[in-house]
Amino acid sequence: MSEHINNVSRRKEALKEVIKRLHAGETVEDLKSEFGHAIQGATAGDIADAERALIGDGVSVGEIQRLCDLHVAVFRDSLDEEPSPESLPGHPVFTFRMENEVTMRLLEAMEDTLIDWQDGEEGALESLRNQAVNLAAIEKHYSRKENLLFPFLEKKNFEGPSQVMWGVDNEIRAQIKAFTQHINDDEPEVEEATTQFLELSQTIQEMIYKEEKILFPEALNRLTEGEWGQIRAQEEEIGYFNVTPRDSWKPSEEETPEAEELPMKTDADGLIFLSTGALTQEQINLMLTHLPVDVTFVDEHDRVRYFTQGREHIFDRSPAIIGREVTKCHPPQSVHKVQVILDDFRSGKRDVAEFWIQMGGQFIHIRYFALHNEQGEYKGCIEVSQNVTGIRALEGEKRLLDD
């Protein structure tokens, strides 16, 4: 037993050394030659563990992300030997894989359309623009991965790799945006568009490979059927990328946990007493969900405890984020900014932080408010996001009710 443990430990250290030396500039070929014994048979979990250990040793997520394609290149032969995860229609992994197949077909079609544009075929550019709009909907795939799958995996000690993948997802989003903007110019250049598309296509295909060979096998290995059931129950809130899941797969009832009931201070009539009145749980929920804003509450321990589910969503949210550290609900590029806000709120340096962005043709106002009790103790904060596009366009006055 001790010999087996020692062998596993040596293997982990060897894999860490491989990745370290990749970052130091050594080539994939040289490392394959020197560490063939350790690389052979390496699993998705081995790679994820090595990346997580390096992050624990102080290597930044951004640095791991920068060379994550090379990590896969070193271990590709071993990963290719692993069978693709099998699942039933309706299972979240099956749906993710269906979307990947759709994505590959769309990328092939876009490449053909680019060739037609290069050849001067009439209507090719307009077709490419429509295809780019379709490709942008891949956001649904990435959002489900980040806001549903990652929170469950983080509870299973799969934190580092998910942060790295989220960073690459954001690169893809930026590439799609740049490509779409270019081909919608008045006189776009076909050569520049081709270069942008080929880089975008390669990044997406590399992400598909990482999902199929690393993320999904590890997720299937780590999550229970009940946890997959929770993910499935929340998927439709975010939506899908050009697929409609079938319902052949159902988690067994004994594996599906009941929703946790939170204790509340109420009287015999179910009233919850607040500082300026008393409301029922239903009334509070109706009031919050009908506000024209998205509200997220983060407690004093920086964990998400509540968010509204209004009619107009600005950012994707799912119940899977409840209890999650709020910094992990943001892409790696934003974590430092979020941490600064939390630290300033906790220290009392500031009570409010605000930002505004343009997203999908909408002007979004985002505000953060520190919450302190009567004793001045920090009790958390709320994020309030609102689409103010219509408000910014208002002029004059309106004093009468519409008919």
pLDDT given for residue 263 in this prediction: 45
Percent of the chain with pLDDT over 90: 48
Q: Which of 73, 75, 85 is nearest to 11 (CA)?
A: 75
Domain boundary among 224, 253, 282: 253
Query: What confidence tens digit (pLDDT) does each residue in 285-295 have?
Result: 999 999 999 99
Angstrom distance (rounded) from CA 126 to CA 129: 5
Residue located via tokens 């930002």: 355
Residue 274 falls inside a structural domain = no
Residues in the chain: 403
What pLDDT, on a 0 to 100 scale, did the predictor assign at position 5? 36
If asked whether residues 172 and 25 sit together in one domain, one would say no
Per-residue model confidence as pLDDT tens digits over 331-372: 888 888 999 999 999 999 999 999 999 988 899 999 999 999
Q: Which of 125-129, 174-178, 391-395 has the lowest average pLDDT?
A: 391-395
Looking at the domain assignment, is residue 151 inside a domain? yes
Which pLDDT value is given to residue 274? 84
What percent of the chain is predicted at pLDDT more than 70? 74
Pair (247, 98) in one structural domain? yes
236 and 138 assigned to the same domain: yes
Mark whether 231 and 125 lie in a shared domain: yes
Q: Say yes or no: 68 and 25 in one domain.
A: yes
Number of domains comprising the chain: 3
Lookup: tokens for 224: 């229970």
Same domain as 238, residue 152: yes
Query: Which of 81, 110, 136 lies at the terminal end of a domain, its last residue?
Result: 81
Least trusted range by pLDDT, from 157-161, 197-201, 242-246, 376-380: 157-161
- What digits encode the pLDDT tens for the residues 19-53? 667 667 666 576 555 555 555 656 656 666 666 66
Check whether residue 385 and residue 245 sit in a common domain.
Answer: no
Query: Is residue 319 included in any domain, yes or no?
Result: yes
Same domain? For 155 and 226 the reply is yes
Distance CA 1, CA 16 (A): 23
Task: Give the pLDDT confidence score for residue 259 in this predicted structure.
Answer: 44
From 253, 275, 308, give the residue that closes a domain: 253
Q: Tell me, what's the pLDDT at 261?
A: 44
Q: Is residue 112 exposed (0-12), middle (13-18) or buried (19+ Cβ within 10 Å)?
A: middle
CATH number at residue 302: 3.30.450.20
pLDDT tier for residue 205 given thresholds of 50, 70 and 90: very high
- Report the chain's mean pLDDT, rounded to a whole number: 82
Q: Domain limits at 72?
A: 2-81
* In a domain? residue 401: no
* 223: pLDDT strictly greater than 80: yes
87 within some domain: no
Q: Is the pLDDT of residue 93 over 90?
A: yes
Sequence-distant (6+) residues with CB within 8 A of 69 are 206
Work out the pLDDT band at 278, boundaries 50, 70, 90. confident
Place of tokens 């797969």: 249
Mark whether 75 and 101 lie in a shared domain.
no
Question: Looking at the structure, do residues 302 and 382 belong to the same domain, yes or no?
Answer: yes
| Judgement on whether residues 173 and 75 belong to the same structural domain of the protein | no
Instruction: State the virtual CA torsion across 62, 149, 243, 80 in degrees, nearest 10.
Output: 70
For the cut 50, the answer to whether the pLDDT of residue 260 exceeds it is no
pLDDT score for 56: 66
The per-residue pLDDT for range 100-134, each reduced to its tens digit, is 999 999 999 999 999 999 999 999 999 999 999 99
More confident of the two residues 155 and 366? 366
Is residue 25 domain-resident?
yes
Does 282 map to a domain?
Answer: no
**Nearest to residue 228, comparing CAs of 72, 21, 87?**
87
> Over 80: is that where the pLDDT of 12 sits?
no
Which of residues 15 and 72 earns the better pLDDT score? 15
Q: Is residue 159 part of a domain?
A: yes
Q: Residue 347, class by beta-carbon neighbours within 10 Å (0-12 exposed, 13-18 middle, 19+ buried)? A: exposed
- Give the per-residue pLDDT at 4: 36
Same domain assignment for residues 118 and 243: yes
Per-residue confidence (pLDDT) for residue 320, from 0 to 100? 86
CATH number (domain holding residue 222): 1.20.120.520
